[in-house]
Amino acid sequence: MASARGAVVSSPPDTTGAVPPLLLGAAWYPEQWPEARWEADLALMEKAHLHVVRVGEFAWSSLEPTEDHYDLDWLERAINLAGKHGIYTVLGTPTATPPAWLTTKYPETLRIDENGRRDEHGNRLQYDWSNEKYRALSRGIVERLATRFGHNPYVIGWQIDNEISQTSTAEGARKQFQDWLQKRYGTLDALNARWTTSYWSQSYSDWSQIPIPKHGGVDSGNPGLLLCWRLFISDTWKSYLLNQINVIRPRADARQFITTNTMGFFQYYDHYITEDVLDLAAWDNYVPDGKVDPVWNGMAHDLTRGFKRKNFWIMETQPGFVNWSGVNPSLKKGDIRALVWHDIAHGADAVSFWQWRSALNGQEQYHGTLVGADGTPVPLYPEVQQVGAEFEKVGALLRGTQVQSQVAVLHSYESRWAIEWQPQSNKFDPLAEMARYYGPLHRATQAVDVVPPNVDLSMYKLVVAPALNLLTDADAKNLIAYVNGGGNLELTTRSGMKDGDNALYPERQPGPLASLLGGRVEQFYALKDAVPVEGDMLHSNASIWAELLSTSSPDTKVLLRYGKSNGWLDGQPAVISRRVGKGSITYVGTILDDAATATLTAHLLSEAHVTPASLVVPDGVEASVRSGPGGAVHFLINFSDKAQTIHLPKAMKDELGSGGKVSDLALPVSGVAILSESR
Ligand code: GLA
């Protein structure tokens, strides 16, 4: 820190309630710069219409230079100065980067990696997430921050740590895992039975014998052990977050949210468990290959929105390019604006760039920024400035609006893990299976929720469960109640195979849902070659995976059958469906190509009486809707490589353009339009 440690600037005015409805921002690290430079940076941010900074997240050594000696004055000056520029702060707790004094004095707080080696100072996330000493030291710094900033009017929220992800195989973690197992199973007999430890002589006669799975559980091992280790990791992250939340919450204004920044589809813990204790979901949206894929990006947004089932934040996004991929191409001109609006279209209320300016030294010197090493704007800056101005223009229109969906796609970490541990075909990707359905569903309805299988589903007309391999008793009951209540459920390949301990159900798939379906999976086959699939609805090809289905109930209908294949599958049912009162249950036993998946999806949407979107867009343009008390707001983004014209079903107000009503809309490459129906 080159700044003078002077007096704290005088108390700021109370600005509560003035926070703009849409926020554009950047990660700003004032501790890396002379204090004399702050004003120039903040003025440039203000000029780009940035209204939020993320501050403090890696600053532990500047905040507590030596044990129990704190210096928070500089941070208060930075926050208040930003506030004077109309810029609010999200305050990061600095626990992702423990200082050298800490790791030197308390080496036991360093994690032991998957290969049994103790991590070292100088990177990030080198702490042991289960270590009580580390938690106590974290509480110390967090308490100081919360006491000082819990009522600061410019601080609108808290970000705990940064991209929590690294675990530890230390002895202490192992002991906690054994205790966790004892709580879950009660007796070793129960654990041995649920994990079928008689297989390969794995039975345990003492809790202390139970290992952490080899390599931290990323590859092979007893399926029950692997599952429990990941669930333990998830619970331990939850208590890690709570360790800080319990310090912040009593010291902070209720208006200050508490969040942490997640990483899209990152899978090594169950985010539904950790998000439970947070106020707001937020993720870091990076496009390392420089090309936005609206289906995958949209699905990641909707996944994150599903964590809290409400609007979320983009806590980080790239100013052009990253530095951590093999080749780090920039998004093309115009695509940052398109990407930011894509975030908002799917329910984000804030987007923050990482980062404002690169530290002159440090591990990320090549990463994209908004100003260069010289402190002046980079070529991208005007594009960001444009988006910032647009946020100010349409913020009021979007206040209180949300994505409202008639359809949901189910997502389950446990099912993804179970398949990835025993894939049977290395071509089977559970997320690709999800995207295969998410794409046509979003295209048809322009609003899709992604939620876990244990939540209330009654508001959805159609629920699609791609590869829901692991189904707990409670999940199964929830799905049965949904269908009996008039809901339409579509299960796909590999669903209902395993129970809540990652053991095979002693029934054929879909296990506890088989009797509701009036049918079952007789056998599964990993495919090397494509298999024809045919029926009244379509003739197509299936690949990667095929399940031979059968019906046991006279009212279970066969929608598609396999053509000539490996002999076992020839002429056998591939997709079956049964009406249940006003609802239905469908089982899709194979992976159809994209066109056939779209046809089948259209059929199921129509059977479920899902209202089709009225605004039809050409291929390559994504349309999404947010709705609120003022009506629907449509977002149209041209992700194709040519200009597009869209004929609107009725005249709508062109909010980003002329502000007048339009019936036809011209969208250039990377173009964005926001259209409102009323007003
Ligand atoms: C992550 C981290 C940031 C930064 C970016 C770079 O998302 O949270 O601190 O390192 O990556 O892309």
Write out the DSSP string of 169-237: --HHHHHHHHHHHHHHHSSHHHHHHHTTTTGGG---SSGGGPPPPGGGGTS-S-HHHHHHHHHHHHHHH
CA of 45 to the centre of ligand 1 (A): 20
Give, in degrees to the nearest 5, the angle at Cα 247 between 243 and 251: 160
Lowest mean pLDDT among 215-229, 596-610, 662-676: 215-229
Confidence of residue 11 (pLDDT cuts 50, 70, 90): low
Contact 228, 234 (CB under 8 A): no
Q: For 568, which DSSP code?
A: S
Partner residues linked to 676 by β-bridges = 633, 653
Q: Is beta strand 583-588 parallel, antiparallel or unpaired with respect to 488-492?
A: parallel
346, 403 Cβ separation under 8 angstroms: yes
Ligand 1 centroid from CA 631, angstroms: 37
Catalytic one of 163, 383, 433, 547: 163
Percent above pLDDT 90 for the chain: 95
Is 8's pLDDT higher than 60?
no
Catalytic residue among 316, 390, 420, 622: 316
Specify whether the CB–CB gap between 601 and 540 falls below 8 A. Answer: no
Residue 211: HSE in the Cβ half-sphere, 13 Å Cα cutoff: 10
What is the pLDDT at residue 18? 86
Q: Using 50, 70 and 90 to split pLDDT, how confident is the model at 2?
A: very low
Whether residue 383 has its Cβ less than 6 Å from ligand 1:
no
CA distance 96 to 329: 28
CA distance 188 to 198: 13
Alpha-helix residue ranges (DSSP H) falling in 92-131: 100-105
Q: How many CB atoms lie within 10 A of CB 17?
A: 7
Q: d(Cα 181, Cα 236) in Å, to the nearest integer? A: 13
Amino acid at 60: W
Instruction: Please say if the pLDDT value at position 667 is more than 50.
Output: yes
- In this structure, the residue with its CA closest to atom 12 of ligand 1 is 322
CA distance 428 to 432: 8
Instruction: Report which secondary-structure segment, H or E, holds 534.
Output: strand 531-534
Picking from 279, 286, 289, the residue whose alpha carbon sits closest to that of residue 353 is: 286
Q: CB neighbours of 643 closer than 8 A, spacing ≥ 6?
A: 666, 667, 668, 669, 671
pLDDT of residue 218: 65
Q: Which atom in ligand 1 lies closest to the alpha carbon of residue 322? A: 12
112 forms beta bridges with: 118
Would you say 445 and 461 are in contact if contact means Cβ atoms under 8 Å apart?
Answer: no
Question: Is 21:349 a contact under the CB 8 Å cutoff?
Answer: yes
Q: Is the pLDDT of residue 312 over 90?
A: yes
Contacts of 326 (CB under 8 A, 6+ apart): none
What does the pLDDT look like over 248-284, one tens digit per residue?
A: 999 999 999 999 999 999 999 999 999 999 999 999 9
Q: In angstroms, rounded to a whole number, what is the distance separating the alpha carbons of residues 68 and 244? A: 17
User: Where are the extended beta strands (E) located within 37-167?
Assistant: 52-55, 88-92, 155-159
pTM of the entire structure? 0.97
Whether 13 has a pLDDT exceeding 70, the answer reads no
Q: DSSP class of residue 506?
A: S
Q: Average pLDDT, stretch 66-79?
A: 98
Ligand 1 probe mutation, 32, 54, 55, 284, most atoms within 8 A of CB: 284
Are 668 and 638 in contact, with CB atoms under 8 Å apart?
A: yes
Say whether pLDDT at 12 is over 70. no
Examine the pLDDT at 232 and tell me if it is beyond 60: yes
Cis peptide before 510 (omega within 30 of 0): yes
With a 6 A CB cut-off, is 367 part of the ligand 1 pocket? yes
Ligand 1 center to 31 CA (angstroms): 17
Q: How far is the CA of 354 from the centre of ligand 1 (A)?
A: 7
Q: Which atom of ligand 1 is nearest to the CA of 57?
A: 9
The answer to whether residues 17 and 345 touch, using CB atoms and an 8 Å cutoff, is no
Provide the Cα torsion 115, 117, 119, 123; round to 10°. -50
Please write the tens of the pLDDT for every residue from 107-124.
999 999 999 999 999 999
Find the largest Cα–Cα distance for the chain: 82
- For ligand 1, atom 7, name the residue with the nearest CA: 284
Q: Which of 5, 161, 148, 153 is nearest to 89 (CA)?
A: 153
Cβ–ligand 1 distance for 162 under 6 Å, the answer: yes
The C-alpha R_g of the chain, in whole angstroms, comes to 26
Q: Does any ligand 1 atom lie closer than 6 A to the CB of residue 285?
A: no
Q: Distance from the CA of 665 to the center of ligand 1, in angstroms?
A: 37
User: Hey, which of 160, 162, 357, 366 would you mutate to test ligand 1's pocket, going by the most ligand atoms within 8 Å of its Cβ?
Assistant: 162
94 backbone φψ class: left, alpha, beta (φ>0; ψ -120 to 50):
alpha
Confidence of residue 7 (pLDDT cuts 50, 70, 90): very low
Instruction: Check if 490 has its Cβ closer than 6 Å to any atom of ligand 1.
Output: no
With tokens 């208060």, the residue in question is 76
Q: Please say if the pLDDT value at position 220 is more than 90.
A: no
The gap from C-alpha 596 to its chain's centroid, in whole angstroms, comes to 28
What's the CA gap between 466 and 675, in Å, rounded? 33
Please give the distance, rounded to the nearest whole angstrom, from the Cα atom of residue 283 to the centre of ligand 1.
Answer: 11
Q: Is 57 in the pocket of ligand 1 (CB under 6 A)?
A: no
Identify each DSSP E strand in 402-471 by its residue range: 407-410, 448-451, 462-465
Ligand 1: atom nearest CA of 284 is 7
Q: Is 590 exposed, middle or buried (0-12, 13-18, 19+ CB in 10 A)?
A: buried
Distance 153 CA to ligand 1 centre (A): 27
Q: State the Cα angle at 643 between 638 and 648, rounded to 5°.
A: 70
CA 667 – CA 639 distance, rounded (Å): 10
Tokens 């040519």 label which residue? 642
Q: Does 180 score more than 50 pLDDT?
A: yes
- pLDDT tens digits for range 399-429: 999 999 999 999 999 999 999 999 999 999 9
Active site includes 316?
yes
Who's near 581: CB < 8 A, 6+ residues apart? 484, 486
Instruction: With cut-offs at 50, 70 and 90, classify the pLDDT of residue 5.
Output: very low
Q: Give the C-alpha separation, 199 to 181, whole Å.
A: 19
CA distance 568 to 173: 48
Q: What are 302's two structure tokens?
A: 């909707």
In b/e form, how buried is each residue of 74-84, taking b as 16+ CB within 10 angstroms?
Answer: bbbbbbbbbbe
Residue 468 predicted with pLDDT over 60: yes
DSSP-assigned states of every residue in 17-68: T---SSEEEEE--GGGS-HHHHHHHHHHHHHTT--EEEE-TT-HHHHSSBTT
- State whether the Cα torsion 213-492-575-591 is positive or negative: negative
In ligand 1, the atom with minimum distance to the C-alpha of 162 is: 8
- Bridge partners for 54 per DSSP: 27, 90
Q: Which residue among 322, 364, 366, 370 is best mutated to probe the pocket of ligand 1, counting the most ligand atoms within 8 A of its Cβ? A: 364
* Whole-number pLDDT of residue 275: 98
Q: What is the pLDDT of residues 604-633, one digit of tens each?
A: 999 999 999 999 999 999 999 999 998 999
For residue 499, what are its two tokens? 């129970």
- Pairing type for strands 531-534 and 556-562 reads antiparallel
163 included as an active-site residue: yes
CA 660 – CA 664 distance, rounded (Å): 12
pLDDT at residue number 665: 96
Ligand 1 atom closest to 58 (CA) = 9
Structure tokens that stand for 448 in this block: 């899709």
Rounded distance between C-alpha atoms, residue 505 and residue 630, angstroms: 49
Nearest atom of ligand 1 to the alpha carbon of 263: 7
Residue 304 · residue 283 · CB < 8 Å: yes
Query: Within 13 A of 234's CA, how many CA atoms are on the CB side?
Result: 20
What is the spatial distance between Cα 503 and Cα 251, in angstroms, rounded to a whole number? 45
| Residues 55, 294: Cα–Cα separation, whole Å | 30
